[in-house]
Chain A
C-alpha cells in the first residue's frame, strides 16, 4: 500500500503499479493525487549552479557558500518536506542564526497557532468520520483542494455513530463567497457571503445562537442554521484561506463563535492546510520555539511578522527555499524581490522559484521515491515508505549535507 503526498490528507490506501518508471495502474487515488503520481516523470529538477548543470555535491557546496556568507539569510518553504527535513531545517536555522518561515505566515498560520496553543478545540479526522453530524466548510472547498476529504471523513462515509452517512446522519454547511464544487454538494446548506463578509456572518450567527433575530436578509435560513448547530451532537468546522484572509489576519471573531458553539454543544476545528506537511512544520517549529512560523535565531529566539517572508525579504541577503514555490504564489513585487536575492532551491520539480534560483538541488518525491514521516492536517502522524527506486536524495539527506558544509 502506498501513501499520497499530493495534499495534507496523506491518503494511506493507495495501490500503484509502475512500468518503465511510469505509473501504470492506481487504485483509490483522487484526480489530484493521480496528477501528483504522474508528475514523477514530468519537469524534474536537475542540480545546477548559475543555470549550468553540476553534480549534487557541487550544488550543495555552492548552497553552503551562499548561506555561510550571508548576514541575514532566510530558510523558507518546508510544506513539502518530511518531518526529519523540517527538524534539520530548524537546526540549520539555529546554526546559521537565520530566519525560518513557511507559507502559513500568509495563510492559515494563525489558525494552526490557536489550535496548537489549545485556544481552539480540534479533533482528528477519525473522530469526524465516526461522530460528526454537522460539517461546516468555511472559506474551504475540499472538493477542489482535498478531493477525498468528504468521501473519507467529513460527509459521505459511514462511521461508528454515523452509520447512515450523508443520507440521514450528516449535514454539510458551506460558508463561502462563491458557489464552489463543495457548495454544490451542500446544496441548501450553502451560505453565500459577500467578499469580506465573514465578520458580519459570524455576528449574525452569534446573535442567532444567543436567541436574537439576526440582522440578515434571509432570517429564516439563518435561524434554521442556528437550530441545526445547537442540536448538533458533534460538529466539525474545516477552515480555508478564505476565512483568515477575510478577517485580514484576525481570527478572534471566529474564535468567539467556536467558543459560543462549545457552550451549547461540541464543535472542533481542523484547518484544511495546503501542502502535505504544513502542519508538521508548524508543529515542529512551535515545539522548538513557541511560534508556528516567522522565527529568527539571529539573537536567541524571536518570532513575529517581521521575520515572515513578506517583511524579511527587505535586507535579506540569501534565501534557501525547500519544497515550495514562493515565486509562483507571492505578489509580484515580493516575487521580484526574492528573485533578486541569491537563492538556493531544493525541490523535486522545476518551478518558477527554481528557475530564479542561483543553486538548484533536486530531491526525491516523498511517499513515492523516499520514505519519511509527516503530520496530516489534523495533526495525526503518518509514516510512509518510498515505493519506487530513485537516484534522487531524500530531502533530509540534502539538508544534512548542507548543514555539514556550512
Chain B
C-alpha cells in the first residue's frame, strides 16, 4: 500500500517553464518543466519518494501524475507546482472572498505512483470530453 501525504500545494511560475511554454505547450520540454512537484525532503522520505519518480497528486477535483523533485530548502507539509494545465486539473473552480478564483493554493493527497506522467494530450482529452 503506497503511503499518502496530505499537503498544501502552492503554484508558481518558473523561467524555464515560461520559455518552454513559449516554444509550445505540446513539447516534451514543456511537460518536463510543468508536470513536476517540489516536495520537502522530509516529506519525500516519509512517502518513500525519490527525485524523478512519479507521484500521484489528487484532489476532490482531479488527479494527475507528475515527476517528483526534492527542494533544497525545507518546507514540510507544503509542496510547490508550476502553474500549468497539470496543476489546473487539481483546482476546484471555487471562488474565494471577493469572487476571485483560488488558483494559487489547494490541499492535495500525494503518493508514489507506478503510472506514467500525465500527458498534455490526455489533459486536452479530459477537457474536451463530454
Seen from chain A, the residues whose Cβ lies within 8 Å of a Cβ on chain B are: 6, 31-32, 34-36, 38-39, 42-43, 105-107, 110, 141, 143-145, 147, 177-181, 195-196, 241-242, 244-246, 248-250, 305, 308, 310-311, 325, 327-336, 339-340, 349-352, 355-356
Task: Show 10 residue pairs from A and B whose CB-CB distance is below 8 angstroms, ordered by the A residue.
Answer: A32-B18, A35-B23, A42-B23, A43-B25, A246-B104, A311-B99, A327-B127, A329-B85, A331-B88, A332-B91
Q: Tell me whether A356 and B127 are in contact in the complex, defined as CB-CB below 8 angstroms, given that A143-B15, A144-B13 are known contacts.
A: yes
Q: Tell me, yes or no, whether B93 is within 8 Å of chain A by CB.
A: yes
Complex contact B15–A144 (CB within 8 A) = yes
Return the CB mask of B75-117 against A: 1 if under 8 Å, else 0.
Answer: 1001010011100111111111111111111000000000000
- State whether A331 touches B25 (Cβ < 8 A): no
Q: Would A308 and B20 count as touching, CB distance under 8 A?
A: no
Q: Tell me which of A32, A106, A349 contacts B101 (CB under 8 A).
A: A106
Query: 3 closest Cβ contacts across the A-B interface?
Result: A249-B98, A305-B99, A331-B91
Most buried by A among B12, B61, B75: B12
Question: In the complex the two chains form, is B26's CB within 8 Å of A335's CB?
Answer: no
Cβ-defined contact, A110 with B93, below 8 A:
no
Q: How far is the CA of A110 from the CA of B96 in the complex (A)?
A: 14
Which residues of A lie under 8 Å from residue B84 when comparing CB positions?
328
- Expressed in whole angstroms, the Cα–Cα distance for A246 and B129 within the complex equals 32
Interface string of B31-69 (1 = CB under 8 A from A): 000000000000000000000000000000110000000
Determine the distance from Cα of A340 to Cα of B88 in the docked complex, in whole angstroms.
17
Q: How far is the CB of A155 from chain B (nearest CB, A)?
A: 16
Which chain A residue has the least Cβ–Cβ distance from B99?
A: A305
CB-CB < 8 A to A339: which residues of B? 127-128
Contacts of B62 in A (CB 8 A): 332
For the A-B complex, the count of residue pairs with Cβ-Cβ distances under 8 Å equals: 151
Contact B88 A248 (CB under 8 A): no
Question: Which interface residue of A329, A331, A335 has the most chain B CB atoms within 10 A?
Answer: A331
Which of A42, A106, A141, A349 is B103 in contact with, Cβ under 8 Å? A106
Would you call B98 and A352 a contact (CB within 8 A)?
no
User: Closest CB-CB distance, B94 to chain A, in whole Å?
Assistant: 8
Decide: A333 and B93 in contact? CB cutoff 8 A. Answer: yes
Residue in contact with A349 in the complex, picked from B14, B24, B94, B96, CB distance below 8 Å: B24
Q: Is the CB of A305 within 8 A of B13?
A: no
Residues of A with C-beta under 8 A to B123: 352
A332 to B80, CA, bound (A): 19
Q: Which of B2-29 contact A (CB under 8 A)?
A: 8, 10, 12-15, 18-26
